[in-house]
A and B are shown apart, each in its own frame.
Chain A
Amino acid sequence: MAQNETAEVLIDCQSLWKIFGDRSGAAMAAVAERGLTKTQVLQEFDCVVGVAAANLQVRRGEIFCIMGLSGSGKSTLIRMLNRLIAPSAGRVLVKDRDLAALSATELRQMRARHIGMVFQSVALLPHRTVLENAAFGLEVQGLPKPERLRTAEAALRKVGLGDWMQRYPSELSGGMQQRVGLARAIAADPEIILMDEPFSALDPLIRRQLQDEFRQLTKDLGKSAVFITHDLEEAIRIGDRIAIMKDGAIIQVGTAEEIVLDPADGYVADFVAGISRLHLVKAHSVMVPVADFLKSFPGRDIAGLLTTGPEADIDALIGLTMHSDDGAIAVVADGSVVGVVTTRNLLLGVKGTPAVAPDTGIARRA
């Protein structure tokens, strides 16, 4: 993650609002002046707050997940990122350009070249073959036919549909159709891919498979992605960072580990309650500093402990602990011991409570 924090910001949303309804202008003004809540806006103006004061940055090379329950404003938010929906207030900068300031032609080019999109409904054109569907974006850009078909073919091979190019969408399973949708997006070679719940209609097995393939493909191609889901497991599996939305507002942004270990409020805590920590929580989050360890267990020989790296997950730590006589693992980074994971820390980690040293209660990750 460290290198990500310095990477270029591709999408920058600054206090973005969307209010739906006939009197959305007045409602927006009232919200700005009086800070009405969602319910008040509905009662007073008969308008629905879709997105409220959302801030987020998506960096190059990052997969950014937006998670929230139905109606929390995810689709509205992602559609403002390519201006399929115009915000009621706030700004969206894509590659440092304000979308609101672009002309119609510039906006078309921005969408065609830089921001691809994949929909839950897939929206494959039924009267076109799989190949022609994958080439649709390039066709719209005006690429000559042989060229766009060649590029689309390569994209279809990347998603494993090389043998299906002359078929029609109705002949494909749901999972395959989603792959075509993905191929259509990557054929146009955008830097950013927006995905609105692309996998939610699929069965769990296919879904898991597509999640892994999608993550691999995005990383291999060096793309950035904004991925919408209402499934936290999916967000954790795919996302480098996750934003949690509730009633149109983003209530927490962080890595899966940060969110699981340090939920911002009870709502997030409820969400993460059922999530398995085994592969999520890493040694650096559950270890205690060496000094604390020695305070609790005076005279223990640090050098004699089994060792591991700070990125080892709970699963690996449990494996090591099984082989260790003294129930403690030393965490080594750059050749020196940075902390110790005791069995107690490990159990707390499994439970999802961050590392607490026996008597100091420190080491909560910021």
Chain B
Amino acid sequence: MDSSIIVTTFDTATDSALGWISDHGGALFDLISAVLEGFYGALLWGLSQPPDYVLALLVALLGWRLIGVRFALLAAAALLFCAVMGLWPETMSTLALVISATILALLVALPTGVVAGYLPRLDAAIGPALDLVQTLPPYIYLLPAIALLGYGPATALAATVIVAMPPAIRLTALGIRMTPPEYIELGHACGITPLQMFFKVRLPFAVPSIMAGINQSLMMAFGMVVIAGIVGSGGLGATIYDSIRTLDIAKSIDAAIAIVVLTMVLDRLTQSASRARREDNP
């Protein structure tokens, strides 16, 4: 049939295009893959060094400082429960994936957001692109990534980085743009330089918004990392995927609980970090 010919032609064209890209850009993609995996590997190594109870204790301490005793105890207990379920290594590798993807995303998103905050035109131009990234179903990003980077954590990371960027870009730009005009005027009246204006006036006012962006990026990364279990990311996502395939429902629920624990702990911690900053800026 006509339509199947069209589809076949399209598929062949896509295949050969991707083949061409990975043939000619092979070295580049190998490099990207190596960087991503190296970064992830280093972080995972670091997180795997301390025994589970030490890490739980550290989280509890941080939670106690930032939020309160109740949260600290709950968080530590919940993390230790992950260890009891026998999912500690998977939990740590998911954590490493999320953190490394978020850091890489922020490395691009924060500077981009700052520039977009200064240039309304750029902001208007990248707005639709960010909308698109945020509306497409996240697993779409796994497809080109797996074609170019292959099966494994690098693919999961690449897709996660893309999904995690938009909120940080948006909220950073917003924060930089929203400096109250009277402070801009104050700066000029004092004879401020553009660089001082950024660091001494715009940035302090933008911190709460930027922190909210970081929090949202982190949460986006979480969602993606779990989905990326399907492309061999390892970690809890992979555990769920594998146990569903083998109909080991109990295990998949264990993994889901671990994911919930990790999400809640990270969310509360980063949220309260941004709120603590806000309380400094009443």
Contact = CB atoms under 8 A, between A and B. Distances in A.
B281 A84 contact: no
A112 B190 CA distance: 5
A123 B191 contact: no
Given A123-B183, A125-B204, A140-B196, A111 B282 contact: no
A141 interface: yes
Contact of A126 (B185, B189, B192, B282): B282
B190 A136 contact: yes
Nearest to B207: A127
A216 interface: no
B226 to A, nearest CB: 37
Contacts of A139: 200
Contacts of A343: none
A140 B191 contact: yes
A194 B188 CA distance: 13
A119 interface: yes
Contacts of B204: 125, 127
Contacts of B282: 126, 168, 170
A64 B200 CA distance: 32
Contacts of A117: 186, 189-190
A108 B192 contact: yes
B4 interface: no
Nearest to B183: A123
A111 B185 contact: no
Given A126-B281, A127-B281, A119 B190 contact: no
A259 interface: no
A188 interface: yes
Interface string B168-206: 000000000000101101111111110010001100100
A84 B182 CA distance: 12
A284 B216 CA distance: 74
B2 interface: no
Contacts of A140: 187, 190-193, 196, 200
Which secondary structure dominates where chain A touches chain B?
A: mixed
A87 interface: no
B160 to A, nearest CB: 33
B24 to A, nearest CB: 48
Interface in A142-196: 168, 170, 188, 194
B188 A111 contact: yes
Contacts of A188: 190
A111 B200 contact: no
A252 interface: no
Contacts of B180: 123
B39 to A, nearest CB: 33
A112 B186 contact: no
B191 A108 contact: yes
Contact of A84 (B183, B189, B196): B189
Which secondary structure dominates where chain B touches chain A?
A: helix
Contacts of A337: none
A296 interface: no
A136 B187 CA distance: 9
Contacts of A84: 185, 188-189
Interface string B4-19: 0000000000000000
A317 B147 CA distance: 99
A76 interface: no
Contacts of B131: none
A305 B182 CA distance: 59
Contacts of B280: 127
A348 B280 CA distance: 60
A207 B91 CA distance: 63
B275 to A, nearest CB: 14
A121 B182 contact: yes
Interface in A117-131: 117, 119, 121, 123, 125-127
A119 B281 contact: no
Contacts of B188: 84, 111
B281 A108 contact: no
Nearest to A119: B182
A116 to B, nearest CB: 8
A109 interface: yes
Contacts of B182: 119, 121, 123
Given A125-B201, A125-B204, A127-B204, A141 B191 contact: yes
A125 B204 CA distance: 9
Interface string A47-72: 00000000000000000000000000
A132 to B, nearest CB: 10
Contacts of B186: 117, 119, 123, 136
B183 A125 contact: yes
A82 interface: yes
Given A127-B280, A140-B200, A168-B282, A112 B183 contact: no
Interface in A317-334: none
Interface of B: 180, 182-183, 185-193, 196, 200-201, 204, 280-282
Q: Which 6 A-B pairs have the closest CB atoms?
A: A112-B191, A111-B191, A108-B191, A117-B189, A123-B186, A123-B182
Given A110-B191, A111-B191, 14 more contacts: A109-B191, A115-B189, A117-B190, A119-B186, A123-B182, A123-B183, A125-B201, A126-B281, A127-B280, A136-B190, A137-B191, A140-B192, A140-B193, A188-B190
Interface of A: 82, 84, 107-113, 115-117, 119, 121, 123, 125-127, 136-137, 139-141, 168, 170, 188, 194
25 contacts: A82-B189, A84-B188, A107-B191, A111-B189, A111-B191, A112-B190, A112-B191, A113-B191, A115-B189, A117-B186, A117-B189, A117-B190, A119-B189, A123-B180, A123-B185, A123-B186, A127-B281, A137-B190, A139-B200, A140-B190, A140-B192, A140-B200, A141-B191, A170-B282, A194-B189
